[in-house]
């Protein structure tokens, strides 16, 4: 199978391990096309060439860089003519111009198409995006959904084709691994929160309020940057815990594993808003792979990601979160059990190799479709 993947997400070096894992399958020939950079609201993301074995990583310019709904690859027709793929994997939401153009151009070249979606809220877009969305939903051959609620969203909007729930990326269990030496039982208990963006929907204020009532010796580390930072600093001071709270700024993709390994608990206290709901919570599987117990709110996909391998508390329930953290501080056996369960859950469901294997199963299913075979 000849697979052409379009993905701005694969600018990130650690995400490229999934591409290497896909390319290891003997029946797959993979070409991935990425832009040279992406102008994300949190800052420009530049291409990192870190994991490029077994497949071809091509860099093509995009138009309207940073405009999520309207960017696209103008050179795609040339790439389609050069590579002649069987399947074009469009790593993008179905309502975006990049997806609509790629689907039409791929179909014209005789290739099957699939899109990827995290969208777990049923949003209505104005024309022309609503028109493009309808055409993609009726014309694409397959859909990969990053969470369970996305299935309901796209079914309600008219998608009737085959689908599979597979997260966009997993983790490398060798990079994200437990510390080599066990935790010193007498050390300060370190609670962590690691988000790329510090915004109200991440609920870090709930974590600060819960931590303020904890007894004993503890320290809270908050990674990330964003518009909510001044408010969170002020809240920590107001609660009288600013001496125990450390705002560590952004952590690079290369440094996040070491950062997580130093924690005794990782907390993700997301809260749903009318226009946003937690779509996955990647930091959860990174922490679980590192043998760090996790505590998550009952928000969006978080409970499905954690399963029985961590503690789940209601959204914005300060007392429940405090009780969960206190359990972890006082119960070594529980902490060790959750650490083992978390690592095992990642190995079973969330490694890059597992994500790649499930994705290749989708490719094989598409290639075996008799309707497509007859139309070639």
Q: How many residues make up the chain in this entry?
A: 376
Looking at residue 371, its pLDDT comes to: 57
Matching fold, domains 2-170+351-375 and 189-349? yes
Looking at residue 374, its pLDDT comes to: 39
Contact call for residues 159 and 143 (beta carbons, < 8 A): yes
Return the domain boundaries, the chain. Answer: 2-170+351-375, 189-349
Kindly report the backbone phi and psi dihedral angles of residue 290, in degrees, each rounded to the nearest multiple of 5, phi listed first.
Answer: -85, 5
Domain 189-349 has CATH 3.40.50.720: no
Q: How far, CA to CA in Å, does 124 sit from each of 17, 154, 191, 277?
A: 34, 12, 39, 16
Looking at residue 181, its pLDDT comes to: 83
Kindly report the backbone phi and psi dihedral angles of residue 294, in degrees, each rounded to the nearest multiple of 5, phi listed first.
Answer: -120, 150
Over residues 157-175, the mean pLDDT reads 95
Task: Convert the pLDDT of each residue in 263-313 to its tens digit.
Answer: 999 999 999 999 999 999 999 999 999 999 999 999 999 999 999 999 999
Q: 167 is written with which tokens?
A: 């997260």
Q: Where are the beta strands (DSSP E) in 182-325?
A: 189-197, 218-225, 245-249, 265-268, 294-297, 311-313
Contact call for residues 313 and 297 (beta carbons, < 8 A): yes
Q: How far apart are CA 69 and CA 108, in angstroms?
A: 22
Residue with tokens 């953290």: 325
Looking at residue 184, its pLDDT comes to: 79
Over residues 139-163, the mean pLDDT reads 96
Say yes or no to pLDDT of 139 above 80: yes
Looking at residue 372, its pLDDT comes to: 53
Q: Is 42 helix (H, G, I), strand (E, B) or coil?
A: coil
Q: Which residues contact 27 (CB under 8 A, 6 or more apart)?
A: 1, 360, 364
Percent of the chain with pLDDT over 90: 92
Task: Convert the pLDDT of each residue in 218-264 to its tens digit.
Answer: 999 999 999 999 999 999 999 999 999 999 999 988 899 999 999 99
Over residues 4-32, the mean pLDDT reads 96
CATH fold of 2-170+351-375 reads: Rossmann fold (3.40.50)
């Amino acid at each position: 199978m000849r697979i052409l993947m379009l993905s701005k997400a694969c600018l990130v070096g650690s995400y490229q391990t999934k591409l290497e894992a896909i390319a290891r399958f003997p029946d797959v020939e993979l070409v991935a096309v990425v832009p040279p950079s992406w102008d994300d609201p949190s800052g420009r993301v530049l291409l990192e060439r870190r994991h490029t074995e077994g497949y071809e990583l091509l860099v093509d310019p995009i138009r309207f860089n940073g405009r999520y709904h309207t960017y696209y690859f103008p050179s795609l027709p040339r790439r389609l003519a050069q590579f002649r793929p069987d399947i074009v994997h469009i790593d993008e939401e179905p309502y975006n111009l990049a997806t609509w153009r790629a689907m039409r151009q791929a179909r014209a070249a005789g290739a099957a198409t699939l899109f990827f979606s995290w969208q777990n809220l049923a949003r209505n877009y104005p024309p022309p995006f609503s028109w493009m969305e309808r055409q993609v939903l009726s014309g694409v051959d397959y859909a990969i959904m990053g969470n369970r609620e996305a299935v309901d969203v796209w079914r309600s909007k008219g998608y009737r084709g085959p689908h599979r729930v597979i997260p966009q990326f997993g983790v490398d269990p060798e990079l994200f691994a437990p510390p080599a030496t066990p935790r010193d039982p007498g050390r300060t208990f370190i609670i962590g929160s690691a988000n790329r963006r510090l915004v109200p929907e991440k609920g870090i204020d709930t974590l600060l309020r819960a931590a303020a009532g904890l007894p004993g010796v503890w320290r809270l580390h908050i990674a990330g940057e964003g518009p909510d930072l001044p408010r969170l600093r002020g809240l920590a001071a107001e609660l009288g815990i600013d001496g125990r709270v450390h705002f560590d700024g952004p952590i690079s993709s290369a440094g996040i594993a070491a950062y997580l390994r130093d924690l005794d608990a990782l907390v993700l206290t997301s809260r749903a808003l009318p226009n946003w709901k937690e779509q996955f919570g990647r930091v959860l599987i990174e922490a679980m792979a590192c043998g760090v117990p996790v505590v998550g709110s009952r928000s969006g996909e978080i409970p499905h990601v954690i399963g029985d391998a961590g503690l789940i508390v209601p959204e914005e329930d300060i007392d429940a979160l405090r009780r969960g953290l206190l359990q972890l501080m006082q119960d070594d056996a529980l902490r060790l059990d959750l650490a083992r369960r978390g690592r095992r859950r990642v190995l079973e469901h969330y490694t890059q190799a597992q994500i790649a294997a499930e994705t290749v199963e989708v490719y094989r299913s598409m290639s075996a479709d008799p309707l497509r075979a007859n139309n070639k």
